[in-house]
Amino acid sequence: MPDQSIPEARTSAEVSQASPSSGLSRRALLGTAGATGLVLGAAGGAVGYAAAPTSATPLTSVGSDRAMFHGKHQPGITEGLQACGHLVAFDLVAGAGHKQAAALLRRWSTTAERLMAGEPAPHDDTDVARDAGPSALTITFGFGYSFFGRTGLEKQRPAALDPLPDFSSDHLDKARSDGDLWVQIGANDGLVAFHALRAIQKDAGSAARVRWQMNGFNRTPGATAHPMTARNLMGQLDGTRNPKPTDADFDQRIFVPSSGEPAWMANGSYAVVRRIRMLLDDWEKLSVPAQEAVIGRRKSNGAPLSGGDETTPMDLEKTDAKGDYVVPLNAHARITRPDKNGGAAMLRRPFSYHDGFDADGTPDAGLLFICWQADPLRGFVPVQRKLDRGDALSPFIRHEASGLFAVPGGAAKGEYVGQRLLEG
């Protein structure tokens, strides 16, 4: 888990703390959000990025926050971490090809636009999210390597989508890896997120079937006294060194340029998805100082072991009285530093997960690792190869599923996601 993070969601719509008897209708709530709320994911530039924490949002206004479906980039990439998430991969059914895929993406885009606005699904709505606002819902679509063969679009398959190399830490379940199509759903309300998941699955109809699905969570915005980097299930602040949209080279590292190849991927990105199980029983046997040595940062506040606070640059040359490095050579934070990996950087936007317990009581829990980059061969791959060679964290985690997906740029008004590929 590279030492990078995205701050919690920026939200600002302060709505009345009305009870059900106050007469504040859902329509009025959404109207208030549209007039005064911060619109996340707006098209173009850094204006729409939710990159820097502001003030914590009271839970009473979480429902009013809205992300926009149309824009330069798809939603669900630069927005802050959401409380609930679903990742789902689909395979096209036998006989379904280019035509059926285009119709499916058109349906999905129509549904996503409506649900992200807090409106019912366009047909057969289940009422699961009735009375709820948008709750920062985002729905993001991507294409797997196999999609192009099934649709006869092999010549349009990006070179960057070539399968990831094998890593020594992999224990991958093929049934829970890859897929023709990938959908990421995130929201700050569990019912809103499930409502979107169900609508997307129903829209697949006879064109595609679910290959695998995973559920995740993060801390709810407003649950802490002030915005802070998220913690993972090991209790560590996870992702301090995430690239920030204010960085001069942010777009260059995270998004395919408008002049990039293939042309249909302009302003898109590549998502690496890994289900990383945390061996919590083993991890929790370590003392706090031992855990900190594994990571290279203080558990309490994320500060590097070399001193300072969370944002203080790590001094990799600092030694203790015995002459030993205070940040161990195999510490996770040392190994994953971009300046130690040829500048490799990725935007991490993960969810934690817990899928119950094994028969012996071992928790099946960990991280749904999602990272975004303009090219996985320059982002994820070099860092993971370095981790494979001696990361102190490796004995406490296990990579159990993996996928790589090409996520095209955002759809303009009147377009559907992937239209430039499917109709270009």
**Active-site residue numbers?**
238
CA distances from 37 to 224, 264, 399 (A): 21, 32, 39
**β-strands 347-348, 138-143 pairing:** unpaired
Burial (CB < 10 A; 0-12, 13-18, 19+), residue 23, is exposed
Phi, psi of 356 (to 5 degrees): 90, -155
**Concatenated DSSP letters of 246-293:** TSTTHHHHHS--TT-SSGGGTT-EEEEEEEEEE-HHHHTTS-HHHHHH
Sign of CA dihedral 172, 175, 176, 178: positive
Phi, psi of 85 (to 5 degrees): -145, 150
List, in order, residues 6 or more apart from 191 with CB less than 8 Å away. 128, 129, 132
Structure tokens at 75: 């939603």
Phi, psi of 139 (to 5 degrees): -130, 125
Q: CA 264, CA 156: separation in Å to the nearest integer? A: 8
Q: CA 75, CA 3: separation in Å to the nearest integer? A: 23
Q: For the chain, what is the radius of gyration of the CA atoms? A: 21
Per the DSSP assignment, residues forming a β-bridge with 139 are 185
